Structure 1
Amino acid sequence: MTHELDDLFAAARKAEAPGDDLVARVLADAAAVQAEAATRTAPSGGGWMSGLVSGIGGWFGAGGLVAATTAGLLIGFYAPDTVDTVLGGQLSELGLVTQDDLMPGLAYLLPGEGG
């Protein structure tokens, strides 16, 4: 496998550099795209919320961010052993959750309950 990669890299090193005309065309195209992007204006209306949502990928991005945030809060709020119980012990089988009780459950946070 490594010999194949070495041969591939050696062939890439021997390849010719792109010509000056190709580099000039690529740079001219890049300059045209930059000039077009500079002349565009932000869509008017919508307010700051529209700008924020479009900045994170639109409503699909916002939905994914909300789902990930909610899942992170729920997993962080409930102790890993509770999540493991809900998943039927799959995390314990993979060795991701041990029996150490380093993070007490919600009962320890409520007055008059817990140990």
Structure 2
Amino acid sequence: MGNEAAIRISMEETAPAYVYETIETADTFAARIEHVTAAGINQFAMVTIALFFRIVSKTSSSHTRTSMTYFLDSLRPLVRKTDVVFLLDTSLHFLLPGANLQGGGIVQSRLWDALLWRIHN
């Protein structure tokens, strides 16, 4: 017998730190809000950012999706990991459990400033 050591490597899948869900209909969003309230959270703020794009050609829709994903990827880390974030068409929805109106306003300002900076740079 030699001086051999067995090395055991454990690979675990980890969830990304900041996640969001791409949804197809507002019904999915409503169901998620019901889920949050059913969990006993009776106060939350919601921030919605709707973007409008000029559609020039058929390829514009793929550019729009790419742009929305890019913007959301840069905005998602600016809210808490426990916040629920959705992408619905060209709207970004941030559900902030436990936040009040003032907290929602602060988050809205932060997201808007970051989005404007991202668009212009």
Q: What is the TM-score normalised by the length of structure 2?
A: 0.26
Q: What is the TM-score normalised by the length of structure 1?
A: 0.26
Answer 1 or 2: higher relative contact order, Cα 8 Å, separation at least 6: 2
Larger Rg: 1
Hey, which of these two has a bigger chunk of strand by percent? 2
